[in-house]
Structure 1
């Protein structure tokens, strides 16, 4: 009787040679962990040690399990009719459908490297001796040798009690066993291959215990299985190399493409498995996530950032029943028949569901903000695609950006107008299950489904569906539904308007900053003084030379110079433009400074009038002649120029009004009438100016400018009515509110993240401090017994004591320790501040002093309110006094029940006096602009307020109780 014999190379062909690559191999090992009821599997790669570990917290293996199941190829537990009962789930877990089908998936680990150390501890009653661990060594290179049978290959196996017994000595003894078998095989294994195997065995000198007990699944604490591979195949580095996909600027590695989204977070259900995967690379102590380190995978929340979404189910006839949402509008119920099912027969693939989101290719056609669009596009370029999941576990390679299994891009290249969808602009999942879709069978090498009748139906249904909904709802030519076209036009129009508004805001901001800077820096005042100096000098020259005839010309030049200076800082707020809170603050500051500039101008005009009268007197000119004031001449010239401008503007307004009358006839007529009346009144006012009205000339000039600005606004409103791009005041207010809220959201998110980080760091720091404190106590006996060690321990203790004391300083800041208000003494606050800022005071030569009144003062309140406020104010003061070369000082005082914190720095700019308390505003380089805003909010909550004192050489802040509020007393 003849029987089959199995060559050792069978293992190599079923494992290393059959698997498409290392990412697929890792996926297979992850699936084995899932089948073992693990909730976590983790890989770690150590390039410097040429080692890879993969650990899970599943049921693990006993010695019996390893010998009768792991070492048996094609175990019947993977056969379909025995999958449900192959492994009993641990207590508290639901049964899992087994992912493996052929019982050979574990052989994929040979792809990672030529040697494998298996360490496994079983769970439950099947585990043999309590706590027993199975340790086995597999030398995969032996399985590549032609002529050897499976019986020729030795697999050393040991059982140990605890992880502490998995020592380097144990590893050496197991490798020696392989060496001995290699010697017995002799010439059957070629010399070159023998040398290679011995070199590989020589690398097994490491300690396996740290690998088994590292962060993550830990055999020292729980059952599970650990694989340790060393040395590592060179193919791993190639798989980790990030490459740019064709047609994409985003680099991504094969490792990421194949292993990201192992379970289905896109369309999770109650049956979605509780199973976490990760794979880390360690360069020294620095770890990096190799799977989601570049791009976070998709989840349900991402559909809120899609322009369009499709969700529904395909029934047993291939018909789609679901919903389509275009541009976030109300979802539309749709039903699409599968045109490939002319006979109305059941599909071979079975029913399944789908959900995907789609983002427009152009930012101008997307509802996303520019930042969101850039972020989503970057993620789509890396991990966009339609993924396939069966029982919540990903089916490879579907979803990879280079696996367009539905030929979406191929059709799009034929006609982008008809075939709307692009594979790189979509993300989503097709959800299958083993029961309904059992005829969809994966290939042996995990390279997708076998191309049988079920897969052909599956592919045809999905492809036909995308073509049909593109034609019905998104095609520029054939779509009967106008929703997408209309919405896209609206989105594009809004995007263009948003761009225009941003450009206008940027230009307005530039003009504001230029004007504010000119006034604040003194450039405007210096210019005015320069004009006055030139006027005095010129008049003195005319008087000396008795050139009375040149007096009008000189006066005109001086006045024109002043008007030119004023025009250089004259700005009007753009009508209908929503402003950010920052621009609103700048505009308010500009208006205040503009008033100051007008006062300077008024004084200059008055002085010029006096100088002219004095010069006329000195030149002996008759005093009873009409005063040909340079201001009046300026106004006459202005009248001529403005009359021409008004005539032109009136024609433009009339033209705009004619076009607008059809839409808003009465409103347009009223606008034109008001405009013409204003123009007529202005022209008449300018025409009445003569020598006897010199005193009111400047008032007329100012009035003229105001009226002209009103007319320009009227013209712009009329033009806006025609183009329908004008914004009502309510819309502008709403947009400004949205801008403010967007800014606040970003700031609040930063604060939340910062607070969470500080909380975590504080917790870890306190735990570490306790460990260091205990360690120092343990060092003391060594230091006493070893004199050279004593100075080192003393220095360490001194540094630690300083650090520990600094940490204790911040105990009062924790509100949870102070549920009730308590008396806070000024002396305690002063001592606290000296402790916090001791080092900065010394390094920067800054003095923090407190008056007797401050030291004697006391207030009833929460330390968690007052201490942070004082820290913030003093921190700011210490920053700004650095602009002084010497004598840097911060002074604490108390007057009339209020605290004062003052410094001798540069002080606060007049334009910033109110803005400094607005969240997000700040002049400090690298600052967030949140400190003073939060300080004011903290105090206000407890009945106090923070104000900036006026008339102080530096900055002086006062903390005072709100009138009528005794909550803080």
Structure 2
């Protein structure tokens, strides 16, 4: 007798062993990883994309792939031990695709069957270097027939040699598979398809008949699999993916929990917590509509990186020795401490599980408890919210389900819920890795269901040591009764700072609101003021033309006019000193100041001339009376202002003194509370000692209260001086802090941009070479029937290439020598660079003869970049004007180059700011161009500035000037 295997056993080993969708995808990605792939994808094509009739799911890897022999001897042989027994390849070779050898992630030889979980039917395409592409078609539901033995099942395979060959071979595969249903009886003569299974037979046949691959997808699937010598990889096409896969792409909130579960399970496929450990790239592209593709895996943000540890408030970094002891370092905020913990469990050599390194970060749940400033905290908090948890990696490969939101295998949250003050840690606020390996930790094995580690004695010891570590850490440093107060003291300090900043910001916000309201109210006040002023002037002018003018007739008008002149200062808004006004507020202020200047230039000027006439008509005695009245008025206003300030100061001082007395009484009352009762209760030496300790502790606590509450205010008041404007100083420091903080964030983005530019430049060079070569081959081969369209394609590419050639010199300034460049050379370069935009926007770009003849002695990329930057800005700011003009000129008398345009004029308060790094008034502008232009010119002994002076700003828009630095 011999064992015979039912086909259903394969179904149970495959789909039956897979817990969920992420596990199924992970198993197939593991195989790609083991095959030395660089890219692993799980592509979702919806029926709304191009000519797809039904959703499709495609799993791909660019690994070694399989030959026909590999498929028959390995892939179709279940439980192969080629991975579990395999040794790490000695060196890079053809077997590793000439990459660094990898420790195998798979071990049981059944991971390939997880494709059955994803849906049916399935087409597998696999290609090994030096071999022809192999195609296998199968519907795993066939194995659900409990009458079938494995010997009764045929899996059709075809070789694919070219694109045109594929549709025919695909139909052959389908027909060959359906031949499985033509057998009515097994070898023993028993009926294979009973009546109660006819529905399964019909369902499979219908699915196979309707399985189609659109032409565009066919080309995409075969694009990198047909070259016998070079191409390699494996792809699975699932024609009827399970509903869960399609539901992931829905935009509604119904499946949000499921989406988050899948994302959290498939992120961090390899150990991204370690630097330079990202061996493979994973993605789940979703093809929803034409020109609408996104990566589902990063749709909620990117996974953690090694740099994120820098944003952790707490870091635990060290090793478990496998015997119960942890040794390492703990970083609490900015303080690093040596730390060790010994789990008091029974030390049995049979429980030894091997050394386990770990590095875990922890982010505080409240921003006030964190060391981070606002932007950095938001960044790490978002990641912790989406991906927080403890991740286990075996040989840098993620072990599921660890890291998932519901995978709190150490019961951290359960303990925290019993008493948060004692058990400080929260599982969802953690991030980091626990690093196991096959070599070091051979007894920590996966369950057959791929859902965690087997619960053996080694695992229980491992789990116990981790639990002991976090419990001891909490009690030692982080609980409300911690043995060491480092964390609590720093946390209290951060809280105090946060509260102080919060109160200060609240005060600043109120000042900002008040300033904004005043900017709205001042124009209305000024309008009334202006009407009244003009009315008095008109009345006064009428009186002065009379032949006999008496002082008594105009005394009231002169008095009223003088009062209005004094009140003019009150019409100028008081700009707060404690914070930097916004650009919007400055723009409003600028517009209002223009009205005041216009008033001074017209009405106030007329008033001065009229007053001169009036004084000519008055006698000395009358003028003296007028002078005396003005003197008394000035005196009265000054006294009133001083009295108002004195009253305000006294009121504020009385309030502070009252608050000081109240807080002082509270502190003293707290010390004396139940004093008599305590004294009377003392009846022994022991009770004296106890109460003395309590009294001393209370005294120290209350003294600390005085130092925190009362002393800071007194010290602050003692440092106040009439010679120092505290508001102005504080405002200056706050403005500087905000500027530095903003620049730092932008600097990081700019650094990334610079790297991206270098990469793009490198890639463009290769890309252009390849496309050029391809176009030459196509031209020589006369392969295009539509010659006109081909010529159009060639011309467009050449035009793009010319644009790139114009840009490429700008990338490389180092090593370039200075040379003489004429203004005429620059002018024609700009015409070529901006040709399409000049035409599209109907711009008139001119240069004067003086500019054309001017000679720059400078590095060509530097001067070209400066002009490109300024012209590019000019084109943007001229969008809404009728006559769009740009003029390049040279001012001989001052030896300066002018770049003028007819767009929007630059506000006076922005003339200097626009050269600050990261300052931009343009929506989504980076504010880098003008800063770099000024800096690069400075290195060539030239300066760049902007001006609104009439003699420079010839087109009454924006005007930039280049001049030599003397």
Alignment TM class, shorter chain as reference: 0.7 to 0.9
The alpha carbon displacement at 1:321 in A equals: 1.4
Worse overlay, 836-845 or 483-492: 836-845
The alpha carbon displacement at 1:230 in A equals: 2.8
- 1:465-485, Cα deviation, whole Å (9 max, x unpaired): 222211221112x21222222
Equivalent residue, structure 1, for 2:890 = 893
Call closer, same or farther: CA 1:857–1:620 in 2, change over 3 Å. Answer: closer
- 1:563-593, Cα deviation, whole Å (9 max, x unpaired): 444234353653xx5759x889979x99x97
Equivalent residue, structure 2, for 1:960 = 963
Worse overlay, 429-438 or 606-615: 606-615
Contact residue 899 and residue 959 of structure 1 kept, 8 A: yes
The alpha carbon displacement at 1:109 in A equals: 1.4
**In the alignment, structure 1 residue 859 sits paired with structure 2 residue 852:** no
**In the alignment, structure 1 residue 463 sits paired with structure 2 residue 471:** no
* Distance in 2 (alpha carbons) for counterparts of 1:33 and 1:845: 55
Equivalent residue, structure 2, for 1:742 = 741
Equivalent residue, structure 1, for 2:265 = 258
1:295-374 equivalent positions in 2, closer than 5 A: 295-327=301-333, 329-339=334-344, 341=345, 347=351, 349-374=353-378
Call closer, same or farther: CA 1:292–1:944 in 2, change over 3 Å. Answer: same
**In the alignment, structure 1 residue 229 sits paired with structure 2 residue 238:** yes
1:822-837 equivalent positions in 2, closer than 5 A: 822-837=819-834
* Distance in 2 (alpha carbons) for counterparts of 1:209 and 1:245: 34
The alpha carbon displacement at 1:858 in A equals: 2.5
The alpha carbon displacement at 1:211 in A equals: 5.2
The alpha carbon displacement at 1:486 in A equals: 1.5
Equivalent residue, structure 1, for 2:401 = 397
Call closer, same or farther: CA 1:304–1:251 in 2, change over 3 Å. Answer: farther
**In the alignment, structure 1 residue 6 sits paired with structure 2 residue 5:** yes
Call closer, same or farther: CA 1:251–1:579 in 2, change over 3 Å. Answer: farther
Call closer, same or farther: CA 1:137–1:773 in 2, change over 3 Å. Answer: closer
- 1:102-121, Cα deviation, whole Å (9 max, x unpaired): 32222111112223333444
**In the alignment, structure 1 residue 156 sits paired with structure 2 residue 156:** yes
**In the alignment, structure 1 residue 53 sits paired with structure 2 residue 58:** yes
> What's the secondary structure of 1:84's corresponding residue?
coil
Equivalent residue, structure 1, for 2:667 = none
* Distance in 1 (alpha carbons) for counterparts of 2:882 and 2:89: 80
The alpha carbon displacement at 1:301 in A equals: 0.7
Call closer, same or farther: CA 1:771–1:638 in 2, change over 3 Å. Answer: same
**TM superposition score normalised by structure 1:** 0.78
Worse overlay, 222-231 or 363-372: 222-231
- 1:789-833, Cα deviation, whole Å (9 max, x unpaired): 677667667766665655555466454698222322222222233
Unaligned runs of 5+ in 1: 124-129, 661-713, 964-969
The alpha carbon displacement at 1:893 in A equals: 3.4
* Distance in 1 (alpha carbons) for counterparts of 2:623 and 2:124: 114
Equivalent residue, structure 2, for 1:176 = 175
Unaligned runs of 5+ in 2: 186-190, 661-712
Contact residue 88 and residue 103 of structure 2 kept, 8 A: no
Equivalent residue, structure 1, for 2:20 = 21
Equivalent residue, structure 2, for 1:689 = none
The alpha carbon displacement at 1:488 in A equals: 1.1
* Distance in 2 (alpha carbons) for counterparts of 1:811 and 1:766: 10
Given candidates 412, 415, 423, the residue that maps to 1:408 is 412
1:563-962 equivalent positions in 2, closer than 5 A: 563-571=566-574, 574=577, 577=578, 611=611, 614=614, 622=622, 625=625, 627-630=627-630, 632-643=632-643, 645-646=645-646, 649=649, 717-718=716-717, 737-755=736-754, 806-810=803-807, 813=810, 815=812, 819-880=816-877, 884-886=881-883, 888=885, 890-895=887-892, 897-905=895-903, 907-925=905-923, 927-949=925-947, 950-952=949-951, 953=953, 954=956, 955-962=958-965
CA RMSD, Structure 1 to Structure 2 (Å): 4.9
The alpha carbon displacement at 1:944 in A equals: 1.4
> What's the secondary structure of 2:424's corresponding residue?
coil
* Distance in 1 (alpha carbons) for counterparts of 2:278 and 2:800: 46
Equivalent residue, structure 1, for 2:294 = 288
Call closer, same or farther: CA 1:850–1:541 in 2, change over 3 Å. Answer: closer
Equivalent residue, structure 2, for 1:379 = 383
> What's the secondary structure of 2:245's corresponding residue?
helix
1:433-582 equivalent positions in 2, closer than 5 A: 433-476=437-480, 478-503=481-506, 530=531, 532-539=533-540, 557-571=560-574, 574=577, 577=578
The alpha carbon displacement at 1:27 in A equals: 1.0
Contact residue 442 and residue 448 of structure 1 kept, 8 A: yes
- 1:449-504, Cα deviation, whole Å (9 max, x unpaired): 2333333333332223222211221112x212222221112212222343445455
Contact residue 323 and residue 353 of structure 2 kept, 8 A: no
Equivalent residue, structure 2, for 1:106 = 112
Contact residue 532 and residue 608 of structure 1 kept, 8 A: no
The alpha carbon displacement at 1:753 in A equals: 4.7
**TM superposition score normalised by structure 2:** 0.78
> What's the secondary structure of 2:179's corresponding residue?
helix
Contact residue 162 and residue 226 of structure 2 kept, 8 A: no
Equivalent residue, structure 1, for 2:74 = 69
- 1:269-313, Cα deviation, whole Å (9 max, x unpaired): 9xx683443333333564432323432222221010111111222
* Distance in 2 (alpha carbons) for counterparts of 1:423 and 1:733: 42
* Distance in 2 (alpha carbons) for counterparts of 1:393 and 1:218: 31
* Distance in 1 (alpha carbons) for counterparts of 2:618 and 2:727: 60
Contact residue 775 and residue 794 of structure 2 kept, 8 A: yes
The alpha carbon displacement at 1:196 in A equals: 1.9
The alpha carbon displacement at 1:6 in A equals: 1.3
> What's the secondary structure of 2:315's corresponding residue?
strand
* Distance in 1 (alpha carbons) for counterparts of 2:455 and 2:779: 73
